[in-house]
Structure 1
Amino acid sequence: MATAAHDSKLSGQGHTYRRFKDGDHEWDNMHDKIFVADTSHKCPTYIHKTPPCQGSCPSGEDIRGWLQIVRGIEKPPVGMTMQEYAFRRSTNANPFPSMMGRVCPAPCQTGCNRNDVDDFVGINSVEQYIGDSAIAAGFKFEAPAELSGKKVAIVGGGPAGMAAAYQLRRMGHASTVFEQHPELGGMMRYGIPGYRVPRDKLGAEMQRIIDMGDITIKCNTTVGKDVTIETLESDFDAILWTVGCWNGRGLFVDKFAETPNCVSAVDFLEAYNKGTMKYTAPRVVCVGGGDTSIDVVSVSRRIGTLANYAENAEDSATGKLVHGEVGEKTASAVTLTTLFPLDQMTAAEHEVQDALKEGVTILTEVMPTALVLDENGRAIGLKVVECVMKGNMPVAKEGGKETIIEADIIVSAIGQFGKLDGIEALNNGRNQINADALYQVPGKPGHFAAGDAVRPHLLTTAIGQASIASETINQYLRAEELKKRPKVDKHHFDLMEKLHEAGLDPASYEDSRSEDMRGTDGAKYAVHNYDDRSKNVIVPSKDLFLGHFNTVARNLRTEDVPTAEEVLGHFAERMNPLAEADAINEAKRCMSCGMCFECDNCVIYCPQTAVYRVPKKQATLGRYVATDYAKCIGCHICADVCPTGYIEMGLGE
């Protein structure tokens, strides 16, 4: 009776017989809710990670590393200048700093964490400073005196081929480069005009590679025509195909291929850069939106047309006609069409703005729909319509405005593919060469491929592929097991190399180990409380203490861009280099993501004085601070105030 009444009363209040509510089975300890300094099991560790600039760089340069050198954080070895040390760090990955500092569209800058503070670091401008300084000082590449006795045939003397010759020579392998053009450089020479790639500096960076020795150059030689694949297989221990993409993709409109005055940007720029085309038609229309299309329209404005122009414009653009003496010139009317809004074009923003200043008309968000032909089958105009992008494809806008652009020559700059005449056995059916993750050609032992022939992309992409392919070739020539590539496949800072450079190599483990191994933080055979995760981790901005960084304006390169009235005959370089002081100041804007840059925050804010500076004679980049774990209470303040994300709380897990 009592029980029943009691049950009724409890049930009215919503109670049950359960002693604990959900969640109450865990101990309710107020110490779990507050900070208890002396019971934490976590202490700081120093974790090297890859910065996103390097993670975004297709050639994998240690960008943070050479910025640290230029700014003065990382000191060069005794007897070496900052400029030379930065040059040598930069060219571990990419032997063309002067060129890349000028023409690379800089995905590193897009990835830069500093974008979440104010504006990206001007990586390109500092790289140009490094490259130009190296040329002015006459720095040379080092190469081992002893050779392996192996020989590699490199087919193509562009950025990929010459980068591979450079990397292979550093590994002790001789090579012969077969180049179809009269000079080395590939698309850097025959696809980009000289006012963007100064020919003297391009020549200097090419010659520096040749000067390493045991790199034979055979220009005006086409493999598949002048030399057979079988000859290469007989005479060389390995073959690297870096033949590039020398066919331009035509527009997706009827009769483009058979219309004589419709040409590719590849042919147009090659003719200009060879010097066989010194002027063009009065009305030029180019379809594109990337850097190549900007080169076409900017070249067209510079070379102009003849006052009494009376030839087929395609003849000089495709090499059928070689221009001799040039008479009186006038400017050509030049129009560029693109599928995208102005701020979404794939060309570098400053290139787009320069073209507009030079008098190029740019029609955005339009797609070509048809050629307008005369009675002779020649194009006299291009019909375009307003469009929108659906995924990766343009679609005509419903009720969109149609425009006919008058033209004497129409240039397509919408992509490229390989020219594999004579080497059809390598053609994968898409006018490219198949390659696996290690840049081996499947089913053809001893054959490797890199660059645009594998996947048309940036110059720096070709250089990065050549570097990996060279390592694969090296392992193949030495009959070593081919190694799996790391997740973050870049040229990383190596603390052990830095310690060796400073004469701070760890002692031998066997010589210095003791019988009692319970405490090893004072032993000299290891680098303590440090972990290199750079081959697996790219550090995001959320892992940094962004509040440490003040807003600092970029140190901009100045440009000498001609106006529409001045552009005719203007072939001087537009981009001026940074002065040394400006290059240093720009490098100082680097936030050193994933690596200590010696700001002292952790030392200053540690309440236990547990974090301390490593004695100067034992210190180097990455080993500037250490922790006394007898004092550390695991408060994690050092990790909170570390601007670069270099400190993590660990060791207890």
Structure 2
Amino acid sequence: MKKNQHDMTLPPDLAGHSGTGPVRRQRPIYQDSLPPCNHACPAGENIQAWLALAQEERYEEAWQSLIENNPMPAVHGRVCYHPCESSCNRARVDRPVSIHAVERFLGDLALERGWKPAGQAANSGKRVLVIGAGPSGLSCAWHLRRLGHDVEIHEAGPMAGGMMRFGIPAYRMPRDILDREIARILSTGITLKLNQKVEDVLAARQQGQFDAVFMAIGAHLAKKVDIPAREAGKILDAVSYLSAVERGEAPKLGRRVAIYGGGNTAMDASRTARRLGAEEVMIIYRRDRDHMPAHGFEADEALEEGVKINWLRTIRDIDSTTMTVEEMALDENGRPQPTGRFETLNADSLILALGQDVDISVLQRIPGIRLHKDGVVDVDAHMMTSVPGIFAGGDMVPSERTVTIATGHGKKAARHIDGWLRQQPYHKPESVPVMEYPGLHLWYNTDADAVSQPILPPETRSGFDEIIGGLNAGQAHYEAARCYSCGNCFECDGCYGACPEGAVIKLGKGLRYQFDYALCTGCAACFNQCPCHAIEMVAEESR
């Protein structure tokens, strides 16, 4: 009797195959993501793009890319607190790319070589009034002019620049650099009228036949503080003091000067007083260093220059040359609480650096305008106030107050003013994911630490010469090359070399690559190799 013979070999599973090859279940695509530096920049600069151009030593192109979003790179490379660098993925490996130093290099090089901005839209026939020639007003005017509009700036003061001139000392912001950056902005055809304070916005709009208004009045009024005074000595506010120094009218403060406050303005006022001859300068601040609003490097430089900082102290009363201060202690929430322990400090002058407010009296003649609880004006997502055609930005709206944030406000407002004038609302480009450090495929780390900018030794900082130097061309090129190009292909050929099937096609310099899906097996070798994560693997469409 014949027995049935059974083959012990399991039959192959052919469900995942078509013909003789595998069925691809995923495919690679090239997809740009947003670098964290770009995402963090208040001015909205395309940092990765201009760093890539600088890396190729295409410096003028890099500068042209930069000024598409920020018209004053030589200024911002000096005074911006570079939140882009705090977000830089490279900081997880060694130190962040010194973005501000490369920006300064490009800005200075443009001034040195006289580069001119490329392109300007045809004249629209529309007129816009900008009130205030600080960073926000200048930025808005610049972008509006490039969009084809006629722009006139009315500035209440004798010089343009706002707090860049009257609030930041020359040792941080050299005036010749500031003047030349402003001159280039005005050279595009913008009209600037100095000593022209606008008292009535609606009247000024009507008289000048302006189609829209952008209000960018800076915070030049010092906040008030109530300190009991038995016999008041010389007391002045930091904003007025720094402004007087800029005008060449610095008041005599005496040998011993005290500054009350812990922000960047307090640091600037103390360091300025030292440069103008005060032998003893001290800062009095009610919290500790960890809770100080001033940036750490500002405090470090002040201490290096001989300024003394009295932490956890608050002034209780003042006499002609003495102050009674109370020692404070921080509670569990970091708030200062009185301790009942007092001491006496001596000073010939007291400078109050407790913050600034905006003079909003101009708003009182605008019926229907809505004010914010913080004493500034409310604006919508388009930077427009509750009155059609009147926009605002910078210190006038609820926000942090820095030069770069104000500059970003000016650009944003200009785009929305342009859309409002043309009746074609501006729509922000669709957002893309931010490429954070865990998403990178850094299969090797380069040994390339950041370049440090030169700085004057403390003992030589007796005047208002700039204390921090710039990079040379070699250093700027090196620093730009440290960029990881997070989320954006930089044509390293890694995917081209990694593909085992030859499915990656090079399209030529600047054109990147494309995939030949007839050859691609979806193995993800290109994805895993790409250091900047400019490739994503997506599910194959069902067939």
Using structure 1 for the length normalisation, give the TM-score. Answer: 0.74
Return the match for 1:146 from 102, 116, 122.
Answer: 122
Shift of 1:537: 1.5
d(CA) in 1 for partners of 2:152 and 2:275? 37
**What SS class does the counterpart of residue 546 from structure 1 fall into?**
coil
Q: Which runs of 5+ in 2 are unaligned?
A: 1-12
d(CA) in 2 for partners of 1:651 and 1:389? 54
Cα distance, 1:295–1:634 mapped onto 2, change above 3 Å:
same
Cα distance, 1:158–1:437 mapped onto 2, change above 3 Å:
same
Shift of 1:650: 1.2
d(CA) in 1 for partners of 2:518 and 2:451? 45
2:215 maps to which residue? 241
d(CA) in 1 for partners of 2:124 and 2:59? 31
**What SS class does the counterpart of residue 48 from structure 1 fall into?**
coil
1:201 maps to which residue? 177
Shift of 1:206: 0.4
* 1:63-78 to 2 correspondences below 5 Å: 63-72=47-56
Residue 529 (structure 2) pairs with residue 633 (structure 1) = no
d(CA) in 2 for partners of 1:611 and 1:220? 63
1:321 maps to which residue? none
1:372 maps to which residue? 317
2:9 maps to which residue? none
d(CA) in 2 for partners of 1:404 and 1:114? 48
d(CA) in 2 for partners of 1:212 and 1:99? 18
Single out whichever of 355-364 and 128-137 deviates more from structure 2: 355-364
1:571 maps to which residue? 464
**What SS class does the counterpart of residue 271 from structure 1 fall into?**
helix
Cα distance, 1:241–1:228 mapped onto 2, change above 3 Å:
closer
d(CA) in 2 for partners of 1:48 and 1:186? 38
Count of residue pairs brought into register by the alignment: 517
1:547 maps to which residue? 443
Residue 152 (structure 2) pairs with residue 176 (structure 1) = yes
1:9 maps to which residue? none
Query: Are the aligned partners of 1:70 and 1:86 in contact in 2 as well (CA < 8 Å)?
Result: yes
Single out whichever of 57-66 and 406-415 deviates more from structure 2: 406-415
Residue 487 (structure 2) pairs with residue 599 (structure 1) = no
Shift of 1:255: 4.2
Query: Are the aligned partners of 1:451 and 1:462 in contact in 2 as well (CA < 8 Å)?
Result: yes
d(CA) in 2 for partners of 1:386 and 1:641? 56
Residue 259 (structure 2) pairs with residue 289 (structure 1) = no
1:176-212, Cα deviation, whole Å (9 max, x unpaired): 1000111100000111111111111111100001111
Single out whichever of 535-544 and 444-453 deviates more from structure 2: 535-544
* 1:355 partner amino acid: A
* 2:53 partner amino acid: I
1:21-59, Cα deviation, whole Å (9 max, x unpaired): xxxxxxxx9x99xxxx93441111111111111111100
Cα distance, 1:384–1:58 mapped onto 2, change above 3 Å:
farther
**What SS class does the counterpart of residue 350 from structure 2 fall into?**
strand
Shift of 1:402: 4.7
Q: Which runs of 5+ in 1 are unaligned?
A: 1-28, 73-80, 305-330, 488-534
Cα distance, 1:445–1:607 mapped onto 2, change above 3 Å:
same
**What SS class does the counterpart of residue 423 from structure 1 fall into?**
helix
Query: Are the aligned partners of 1:539 and 1:594 in contact in 2 as well (CA < 8 Å)?
Result: yes
Using structure 2 for the length normalisation, give the TM-score. Answer: 0.89
2:329 maps to which residue? 387
1:44 maps to which residue? 28
Residue 379 (structure 2) pairs with residue 435 (structure 1) = yes
Query: Are the aligned partners of 1:54 and 1:64 in contact in 2 as well (CA < 8 Å)?
Result: yes
Return the match for 2:476 from 561, 564, 583.
Answer: 583
Cα distance, 1:149–1:356 mapped onto 2, change above 3 Å:
same
Cα distance, 1:279–1:101 mapped onto 2, change above 3 Å:
farther
Shift of 1:387: 2.9
Return the match for 1:270 from 239, 243, 249.
Answer: 243
d(CA) in 2 for partners of 1:288 and 1:626? 58
* 1:580 partner amino acid: A
1:490 maps to which residue? none
Shift of 1:341: 4.6
**What SS class does the counterpart of residue 286 from structure 1 fall into?**
strand
* 1:630 partner amino acid: A
Larger radius of gyration: 1
d(CA) in 1 for partners of 2:132 and 2:393? 10
Shift of 1:231: 2.8
1:79-112, Cα deviation, whole Å (9 max, x unpaired): xx82211111111111010010001111111111
**What SS class does the counterpart of residue 371 from structure 1 fall into?**
strand
**What SS class does the counterpart of residue 410 from structure 2 fall into?**
helix
d(CA) in 2 for partners of 1:543 and 1:381? 56
* 1:272 partner amino acid: V
* 2:125 partner amino acid: G
Cα distance, 1:429–1:222 mapped onto 2, change above 3 Å:
farther
Cα distance, 1:372–1:237 mapped onto 2, change above 3 Å:
same
**What SS class does the counterpart of residue 260 from structure 2 fall into?**
strand
Shift of 1:412: 3.0
Return the match for 1:166 from 136, 142, 150.
Answer: 142
d(CA) in 1 for partners of 2:74 and 2:203? 37
* 1:448-597 to 2 correspondences below 5 Å: 448-454=391-397, 455-480=399-424, 482-486=425-429, 535-563=431-459, 566-568=460-462, 570-597=463-490
Cα distance, 1:634–1:344 mapped onto 2, change above 3 Å:
farther
Cα distance, 1:483–1:395 mapped onto 2, change above 3 Å:
same
Shift of 1:542: 0.7
* 1:100 partner amino acid: H
d(CA) in 2 for partners of 1:554 and 1:155? 41
Query: Are the aligned partners of 2:228 and 2:318 in contact in 1 as well (CA < 8 Å)?
Result: no
1:367-388, Cα deviation, whole Å (9 max, x unpaired): 42x33323xxx57225142332
1:87 maps to which residue? 63
* 1:312-461 to 2 correspondences below 5 Å: 331-338=278-285, 341-342=288-289, 345-364=292-311, 366-368=312-314, 370-374=315-319, 378=320, 380-388=322-330, 391=333, 394-396=335-337, 402-424=342-364, 425=366, 427-428=371-372, 430-442=374-386, 444-454=387-397, 455-461=399-405
Cα distance, 1:145–1:385 mapped onto 2, change above 3 Å:
same
Query: Are the aligned partners of 1:51 and 1:64 in contact in 2 as well (CA < 8 Å)?
Result: yes
1:345-397, Cα deviation, whole Å (9 max, x unpaired): 44343332221111011233x142x33323xxx57225142332655x62227
Shift of 1:289: 3.1
d(CA) in 2 for partners of 1:292 and 1:169? 32
Query: Are the aligned partners of 2:233 and 2:348 in contact in 1 as well (CA < 8 Å)?
Result: no
**What SS class does the counterpart of residue 354 from structure 1 fall into?**
helix
Identity of aligned residues (%): 33
d(CA) in 2 for partners of 1:456 and 1:223? 25
* 1:463 partner amino acid: T
1:238-270, Cα deviation, whole Å (9 max, x unpaired): 01000011112244x5448x9674433222211
Cα distance, 1:355–1:157 mapped onto 2, change above 3 Å:
same
d(CA) in 1 for partners of 2:444 and 2:66? 27
